[in-house]
Amino acid sequence: MLTPETNSSGKPKVVSTAQYLRKKEEQEQKSDRRKNIPQNQQFFHILESITDGFFALDGQWRFIYVNHRAERILLKSRQDLIGQIIWDEFPELVGSHFEREYRQAVEQNTPVHFESYYPHLGLWVEVRAFPTEDGLAVYFVDITKYKKTEAALRQSEIRNQAFLQVIPDLLFRLNQQGDYLDVSAANPDQLLLPIREVIGKNLRDTLPEAVAKTTLDRLQKALETNTIQVFEFSLPLNQTPRMYEARIVKSGENEAIIIVRDITERQAIEEARKQNETKLREQAQQLEITLHQLQTTQTQLVQHEKMSSLGQLVAGIAHEINNPINFIYGNLNYANTYAREILTLLKLYERHYPEPAAEIHNLAQDIDIEFILSDFPNLIESMRVGAERIRQIVLSLRNFSRLDEDGLKSSDLHEGLDNTLLILQHRLKRKDNHPGIQVIQNYSQLPSVECFPGQLNQVFMNLLCNAIDALEEKFDFSCLSPSEPLPTIWINTQVLTRHSKVAIAIRDNGIGMDRSAINRLFDPFFTTKPVGKGTGLGLSISYQIIVNHHRGQLSCNSEPGIGSEFVIELPIFRRH
């Protein structure tokens, strides 16, 4: 309904027909808009939820709507933009690609679609603009990331192309049938045919039959097994035979890349190397002689340290007493026989001459003949036991030093440890003003180990001697109180890592070492002992024996005042 218009006095106001009709039309439009409110709200909700930026301009280029996404891209709020002219709010658009496209859409009443860079915001945008009855509707998307990716791909393609142009190799892309799909050659003169004549042809059309067959066979294998196929072949180029190396790599479902390199010069270098082989062999022989001299010096050093340790501990008695004790032990049986025969003879005399002369009777009383007759067998047995003990000590010394053996042998490490402990008994056992050092042996079931037994025994000797020295330096054996812990050496053995290694740990509760000493422990001539005691070579040689000769490990953990532990790890089997 059209409401009459009144003047200030409340009387009806006289208006022209045109004014009336225009007023009537406006009221009808308002009524229509009220009817379309739900539909418009749904439309606005859609515009707010889309991922595109959207704004609408009227015929005067003023903003009449801006969605939320457009606010974020343009970095301006809709309150600041609504009612403002686009060219005033964004003066940098004047004369730009954007203005030309927008005006073209309005003037020609046709939609436009374009991409352009907006430097003021540092953005690439994709724009779709649609002319309306009273202005322009613009949808736009920020495509900066896409453009950067596109530029990076172009740059990568340029780099790859440049790379292909500078590498000296020939690159061919072939399908499963052996047809050339693409060719890259920095130097086209390396090809038998021009590139444009190669693409589309088959291997059989461009290569000799034998080379083509080999290449096709390798091509099929590369595609079927997804492995790199490498082979060499010869081709004549400009009447000169050239050698090539080809590598075939699967690059797709039914495609492969073949990289071909001219190795003619490389083979020439190889030939030159062969010509110099005699000279190199002479140098190698000289190096071998020098190495042998170094090894000989090292062996002499090891043997010197070994014999020095043996000299301190057993004073060379193994060799010196071996033959005499054998004489004694061997003659004990004869002595026992002779003694029994003499005793039998004496009993016969006593039976047949029960009344001996006074002189004989008096001597028998003086020497207590009855005691001699009963104790003499015990005397012989005691001598036999003592001789056997000496023989065992000598055998332990020989087993320890293994001076009569050479080479890699399967050995019982526990036997080597026990022999070493037996030799060291004079330093371990209780004596005057010395309570003794207790040794706790925790042996696991160890397999035989391939090793150099004599060298390992030397390592055991060095480590155990160092442990004894550390205990003697810490403890005052002359006044050791019952409350103090006993000087102790622990020897633990075990199998490591699924029976592929064995470990021997020798630990003491001696004086211990600080970190600076541990860091230099295996350096030649380094020692923590007083001047004149020790050469500083024992642990260095032990390290060489374990690490270099046996491919094992030797490590040390120590704490001042607490003690030290040396751990030897050895492979059970040596791979020659």
- Condensed to tens digits (0 to 9), the pLDDT of residues 467-496 reads 988 888 887 766 666 777 888 999 999 998
| One fold for 34-141 and 408-576 | no
- Which pLDDT band, with edges at 50, 70 and 90, does 2 fall under? very low
> How confident is the prediction for the chain on average, in pLDDT?
77
DSSP secondary structure letter of residue 202: B
- 16 or 102: which carries more pLDDT confidence? 102
Q: pLDDT grade, residue 393 (50/70/90)?
A: low
- How far is the C-alpha of 391 from the C-alpha of 66, rounded, in Å? 110
For 161-239, list the strands marked E by DSSP. Answer: 170-175, 180-185, 229-237
- Low-confidence winner among 332-336, 549-553, 568-572 (lowest mean pLDDT): 332-336
Q: How far apart are CA 473 and CA 233, in angstroms?
A: 75
Q: Reduced to 3 states, what is the DSSP secondary structure of residue 574? A: coil
389 vs 273 pLDDT, higher one: 273
Question: For 352-379, how does the pLDDT look when each residue is reduced to its tens digit (9 = 90+)?
Answer: 777 777 777 777 777 777 777 777 777 7
Q: Domain residue spans in the chain?
A: 34-141, 167-271, 295-401, 408-576
Homologous superfamily assigned to 408-576? Histidine kinase-like ATPase, C-terminal domain (3.30.565.10)
CB 493 within 8 A of CB 446: yes
Of residues 246, 256, 232, 233, the one with CA closest to residue 178? 256
Phi, psi of 37 (to 5 degrees): -55, -50
Residue 85 has pLDDT above 50, yes or no: yes
- Judging by beta carbons within 10 Å of its beta carbon (0-12, 13-18, 19+), is residue 229 exposed, middle or buried? buried
What pLDDT does residue 504 have?
93
User: CB–CB of 178/215 below 8 Å?
Assistant: yes
Q: Residue 13: what pLDDT?
A: 43
Give the CATH architecture of domain 167-271.
Answer: 2-Layer Sandwich (3.30)
- For 34-141, which CATH superfamily applies? PAS domain (3.30.450.20)
Residues 483-516 as b/e (b if ≥16 CB within 10 A, e otherwise) read eeeebbbbbbbeeeeeeebbbbbbbbbbbbbeee
Lowest mean pLDDT among 7-11, 82-86, 464-468, 550-554: 7-11
Q: Quick count: other Cβ atoms within 10 Å of Cβ 391? A: 16
Tens of pLDDT along 7-20? 444 444 433 333 44
Tens digit of each residue's pLDDT (9 = 90 or more) over 178-190: 888 877 766 655 5
Share of the chain above pLDDT 70, in %: 74
In the β-sheet with 135-142, what is the strand arrangement from edge to edge?
A: 63-66, 53-58, 135-142, 123-132, 112-118
What does the pLDDT read at residue 321?
Answer: 66
Q: Highest mean pLDDT range out of 204-213, 220-229, 268-277, 390-399? A: 220-229
pLDDT tens column, 146-180: 888 888 888 876 665 655 555 657 777 888 888 88
Q: H-helix or E-strand containing 136?
A: strand 135-142
